[in-house]
Amino acid sequence: MGNGTHTRQRAINKVREGLVRRYAAERRFRRYGMLAVFSGLVFLVIMFTSIISNGHSAFRQHYVRLTVEYDESRIDMDDPAASDFEGVVKEATREMFPWMSSRRDKQRLYGLISGDATYTVRDRVTDNLSLIGKREELWVLLDDDADMFFKGYITPVERRLMLSKVELVLDGDQATLTGDETAFAKIVEAVRGNLRLQLAVAEAELENASRLLVGAEARKEGRDEVVRARSKLESLQTQVADLKTRILSANLNEEIGEGMSSHLINVNDIYFRINAVTATSISGVVFVKSTQRLSGVSGQWQLITLETPVADRRLSDKEISVLLSLQDQGRIEGRFNSVFFNAGDSREPEQSGILGALKGSMYMLIVTLLLSFPIGVAAAVYLEEFAPQNRWTDFIEVNINNLAAVPSIVFGLLGLAVFINFFGLPRSAPLVGGLVLTLMTLPTIIISGRAALKSIPPSIREAALGVGASKVQTVFYHVLPLALPGMLTGTIIGMAQALGESAPLLMIGMVAFIVDVPQSFTDPATALPVQIYLWADSPERAFVERTSAAIMVLLGFLITMNALAVVLRKRFERRW
């Protein structure tokens, strides 16, 4: 008896010991699972934040307000569309900055306005012939570089309002600002900071040079090398000493070169760049002149720091001064970027849009849906409900499953060989794209369709057959309606897959630059993923944000389609 209790005790202890380990293992497993879900979510969040942070700025676009004069001399009354609208836009731009008269200046000035302005003016006049001979204020697109500047991509800009008293003296294109020491403390400090940076570099070089000299002497290298090393060392020593005195000097007198951050001064509506700084005065070249206010004393001025040096950015100080002055005049406005949703592709980022790609994708998906859904459902119903079970049907089933795993580029090659080369359908047409994508999505739809049919319990079929329905009646009146939600879900997921596909489109000429928005199934078109690829490959900086914005639109579509699949399933699904 006692013995028996003992063994039972032992068994329980063993179980208890094991239990601790088992529970620990289970907890561990649960934690691994949570970790897996968590890391998946982290990647998702990283992806979304990077896309959204890159792309959100593309939904805004800056416009500039021009005072346009529809001069009769420039407009061709017989054929208004062929008039010199470029001249009209240039005239309006020049009018705002009349002193910019050199060829290069004018070129740069015109470059700040988008080429689209010409077409805006043209459309305005051809729609409204009564405007000829009149003036009006017209908002037109800014060029992509200017837009990038206002979005902060060209250089970080810091504007400081200064409230000390300064006196401005203008001498032709030269401006000099004088004031007491406190007035320019900020600029002087910036200049000293830059000198300190140069000093640090020179000191590091000096250290290096002295080490080289010691090494050369120790190795008893040729006289020439030692002499050369020594002279280099000496020149560096003088440089360092010079920099030190310049930093400490009370009568600072420095130049601000192109390799440093630029400082612009805005005083009395005048913009000039600081070229030289002393403790009590700064001077530079005037970029933007004022029509009324000139030299004189002012108690309020602005110091604008452009951090990126001129050599490293796409807009010069002069162009930025012009843009800032336009902003001061209230002529710049950021608006919702409607062009992005209403235009086809363009090589000018500010004129480019996704409508062409969106419509191309839409036409393609319509073709795909119309072909793959009926064919897929019919195939699934036949294979599942009517086909005899034999070697042939097994063979077909294996092949359909294999087809689902074929890389999509292969379907593109097939499309090229069959639809374009054999049937002579046009290249780049959504019709062909849709046909190719049909081939790609068919297996998905057939497989999901068969799964949906399989999930209908046999009792439904038996009941229908029991009340005297034929096989066809059973399938069409009882089984298919119940299986349809599942089939639709599979179809929508197949469609979403097709929407994101670009590889097969490469072969059939849909990876192309197409400006005109397609109007039919045979017009040349691209698709959304292709548009993303093309923009990602463009050199212009402004396409970076547009690429991300297009990705956001594509993701939006995919999420909507998947949500639709979920809703359909939830609404029509029957649980057994």
Interface residues with other proteins (CB under 8 A)?
107, 111, 115, 119, 308, 311-314, 346-348, 366-367, 370, 373-374, 420, 424-428, 431, 509, 511-516, 520-524, 536-541
Which residue's CB is nearer to other proteins, number 188 or number 381? 381
CB of 521 to other proteins, least distance (A): 4
Which residue's CB is nearer to other proteins, number 276 or number 484? 484
DSSP code, position 296: E
Strands 253-255 and 262-267: unpaired
Q: Which two tokens stand for residue 121?
A: 């003016």
CB of 574 to other proteins, least distance (A): 17
CB of 565 to other proteins, least distance (A): 16
Query: How many Cα atoms occupy the beta-carbon half-sphere of 551 within 13 Å?
Result: 20
Which residue's CB is nearer to other proteins, number 179 or number 518? 518
Residue 480: phi and psi, rounded to 5, are -60, -45
CB of 357 to other proteins, least distance (A): 14
Query: How many Cα atoms occupy the beta-carbon half-sphere of 557 within 13 Å?
Result: 20
CB of 30 to other proteins, least distance (A): 38
Please name every residue paired with 285 in a beta bridge, in sequence order, or none if there are none. 174, 273
Q: Which run of H or E residues covers position 208?
A: helix 185-218
DSSP code, position 261: P
Which residue's CB is nearer to other proteins, number 367 or number 475? 367
DSSP code, position 184: T
Alpha-carbon distance of 440 to 502, in angstroms, equals 12
DSSP code, position 63: E
CB of 54 to other proteins, least distance (A): 12
Nearest to 551 by CA among 47, 149, 40: 47
Which residue's CB is nearer to other proteins, number 16 or number 79? 79
CB of 225 to other proteins, least distance (A): 13
CB of 518 to other proteins, least distance (A): 11
Which residue's CB is nearer to other proteins, number 179 or number 494? 494
Which residue's CB is nearer to other proteins, number 121 or number 166? 121
- Inter-residue contact 333 to 62 (CB < 8 Å): yes
CB of 239 to other proteins, least distance (A): 19
- Inter-residue contact 287 to 317 (CB < 8 Å): yes
Q: Which two tokens stand for residue 286?
A: 């005037």
CB of 454 to other proteins, least distance (A): 22
Residue whose tokens read 């293992």: 25
Q: Which two tokens stand for residue 114?
A: 């988008």
Which residue's CB is nearer to other proteins, number 37 or number 200? 200
Which residue's CB is nearer to other proteins, number 346 or number 562? 346
Nearest to 63 by CA among 355, 330, 302: 330
Residues contacting 513, CB < 8 A, separation 6+: 345, 347, 534
Q: Which two tokens stand for residue 184?
A: 């320019």
Which residue's CB is nearer to other proteins, number 331 or number 541? 541
- Inter-residue contact 60 to 336 (CB < 8 Å): yes
Q: Which two tokens stand for residue 434?
A: 């849709």
